[in-house]
Structure 1
Amino acid sequence: MACARAASTSDTPPEGAFIALEGGRVHAVVQGKGPDLVLIHGANGNARDFTFELAGRMAADFRVVALDRPGFGHSDAFGGPESPLDQAAILRAAAERLGVERPIVLGHSYGGAVAMAWALQAPDDVAGLTLLAPAVYPWPGELGLWYQLSSSWLGQNVVLPLVANLAPRAAVKRSLEGVFAPNPVPDGYLEHLGVDLTLRASQLSLNALQVDSLKGYIEAMSPGYPALEMPIEIVHGSDDTTVGLSFHSQRMADTLDNANLTILPSVGHMPHHARPQDVADAIRRTHARALAP
């Protein structure tokens, strides 16, 4: 495989290795041995969201491959792909270089759309899907003012660079508290995720464009979901105010016979931190269902 140990390039150094592809490098953190489990993070995140706890928990039973999406964490931007399909193609190529075979693909939030794109592109090569609070169907209405502004010319060229340079740590902490609510942000999580990566101007810019354009992409993707035959396990918090349970996970469970939904009471948008054992159980169910005759 074309892979080299990553060098420290920021205050939050890479934890894994770089996989060289045409157009750039993908950063991957690999832990454990066993069946392949690929982890795809959500909006404005990186693979460290998983290495904080979930990757280590699953490494006893799986070879866990946590990937930085293109332009996030320590992965190169590859031209800044906005489409989940384009991102999935890049991550699939990186996984292939790592020798990944018929993985369980886990996607959280925006990463759920990338996981679905991966499955649509290579349905015979995916053992199963585990989706955590996934954004996978078009939702009613429009995004809030922040995303409308940040994806505009003014936001991309003026507002986001100012945020990247001037936003205090306290503002990042408050933003995280809103995403985790009603559950607390785990001690040490922000330090592990990396403030410098979270507030990097290029990442903020790409994230805004991706989130703003997501609805159109999943509107085009979702008619293909019923053709997927692999097992799908979905975990969603009942109190998630970031990705609506009824618009996404409940709709998938109601539409697809192969999708099983677990709703976690009093849990917000980060079930893998609030209830990691329930998420681990969902991953293991996906694997068991994939092995069933």
Structure 2
Amino acid sequence: MDVDGVAVHAVVIGEGPDVVLIHGSSGNTRDMTFALAPLLAKSFRVIVFDRPGLGYSQSFSAEGETIVEQAEILQKAAAMLGADKPIVAGQSYGGSVSLAWAVTRPDNISALVLIAPAAVPWETPLDSFNRITSTAWGNALVLPLITAYVPDWYVNKALDTVFAPQTAPEGYAEHFGPPLTLRRSSMHANAKQRANLLNEVAELQPRYPEISVPTEIVHGTADTTVGLGWHSERLIEQIPGAELIELEGMGHMPQVVAAPEVAAAIERVAERADLR
């Protein structure tokens, strides 16, 4: 769809209260449609977006779209689909966008579910890959080599690293479609967003206490990508009435490997928001 002149891609399935799903870094709608969206579609109308610059959604900022800008355009897209006050659920970087939505667009959200969210300013530096590929010269010189020559086995190995200590389920890699992620434009957009995220989260964090909608946080205890202790255990103290669900032994991808638990959290906030 066209949202203020920007192409935004959405997958819409199911009937019931509206739920918006927002994927994480390097992702696209297919990450959410592998397991979680079909499960939710039994009792919700599920709207899954490609974030700007990723999947089939258009990038609109040369500097990288901020989490506030992404929240704004996705909220407008949801409204165009008739979802004026959806439940918003986001994973990892998508959790950051979901927090920005809840803080800056409080009249356009009914409840919030955060899945392994990047929520509290961290101390580790940006990895060298994203630091390089976020630059103009990295986009011109490095990304063409990566997008042309990365073998499938390397992609599968990278997926298992993201899922650790679990592994990517059978069929996930084919469903996810690595070539969609490995396009030069998507990788550059993703790197720019990653490079800017820390400062954006630091700016947003003081406003977390303003969030007043029912909120649940779902986080794996074995997540080494976005640590439970650093992020969600601190975040729970900053959002009034929020609940934290710890998934024992789970890594960074609960929306795939623990979809029933994530769906249960979304069902609980729907009840708390009087949507049932």
TM-score by length of 1: 0.90
Once the two structures are superposed, what CA deviation does each residue of 1:195-217 show, in whole Å capped at 9, x if it has no partner?
21011000001111111110000
Once the two structures are superposed, what CA deviation does each residue of 1:171-193 show, in whole Å capped at 9, x if it has no partner?
11111100001112111111111
Q: Contact 2:68/2:97 (CA < 8 Å) preserved in 1?
A: yes
- Once the two structures are TM-superposed, the CA of residue 140 in structure 1 deviates from its matched residue by 1.6
The 1-side partners of 2:124 and 2:27 are apart by 25
Q: Contact 2:216/2:244 (CA < 8 Å) preserved in 1?
A: yes
1:9-24 matched pairs, under 5 angstroms: 19-24=1-6
Q: Contact 1:23/1:78 (CA < 8 Å) preserved in 2?
A: no
Residue aligned with 2:132, SS: helix
Residue aligned with 1:291, SS: coil
- 2:2 aligned with 1:27: no
Per the alignment, residue 45 of structure 2 pairs with 63
- 2:128 aligned with 1:145: yes
Per the alignment, residue 284 of structure 1 pairs with 267
Once the two structures are superposed, what CA deviation does each residue of 1:88-146 show, in whole Å capped at 9, x if it has no partner?
11111111110102110000000001111111121122111001001112112312222
Aligned AA (1:124): D
1:74-89 matched pairs, under 5 angstroms: 74-79=56-61, 81-89=64-72
Aligned AA (2:39): R
The 2-side partners of 1:110 and 1:221 are apart by 14
The 1-side partners of 2:65 and 2:140 are apart by 17
Aligned AA (1:233): E
- Identical columns (%): 46
The 1-side partners of 2:103 and 2:240 are apart by 17
Candidates 197, 215, 232, aligned match of 2:198: 215
- 2:177 aligned with 1:177: no
The 2-side partners of 1:239 and 1:143 are apart by 21
Task: Determine which structure has greater relative contact order: mean sequence separation of CA pairs < 8 Å that are 6+ residues apart, divided by chain length.
Answer: 2
Candidates 172, 191, 196, aligned match of 1:189: 172
The 2-side partners of 1:43 and 1:102 are apart by 25
**Equivalent residue pairs, number:** 274
- Once the two structures are TM-superposed, the CA of residue 252 in structure 1 deviates from its matched residue by 0.7
The 1-side partners of 2:58 and 2:136 are apart by 23
Aligned AA (2:208): Y
Which one is further off, 79-88 or 194-203? 79-88
The 2-side partners of 1:68 and 1:151 are apart by 19
Per the alignment, residue 29 of structure 2 pairs with 47
Q: Contact 2:52/2:65 (CA < 8 Å) preserved in 1?
A: no
The 2-side partners of 1:162 and 1:205 are apart by 13
1:85-104 matched pairs, under 5 angstroms: 85-104=68-87
The 1-side partners of 2:130 and 2:2 are apart by 32
Per the alignment, residue 127 of structure 1 pairs with 110
Aligned AA (1:167): V
1:197-208 matched pairs, under 5 angstroms: 197-208=180-191
Structure 1's consecutive aligned runs of 4 or more residues displaced over 3 angstroms after TM superposition are none
In structure 1, stretches of 5+ residues that fail to align are 1-18
- Once the two structures are TM-superposed, the CA of residue 78 in structure 1 deviates from its matched residue by 2.3
RMSD value, Cα = 1.4
The 1-side partners of 2:239 and 2:4 are apart by 36
Aligned AA (1:268): G
- Once the two structures are TM-superposed, the CA of residue 256 in structure 1 deviates from its matched residue by 2.4
- Once the two structures are TM-superposed, the CA of residue 291 in structure 1 deviates from its matched residue by 1.6
The 1-side partners of 2:71 and 2:30 are apart by 19
Q: Contact 1:232/1:260 (CA < 8 Å) preserved in 2?
A: yes
The 1-side partners of 2:54 and 2:241 are apart by 31
Per the alignment, residue 6 of structure 1 pairs with none
Residue aligned with 1:71, SS: coil
Distance 1:261 1:191, change over 3 A: same
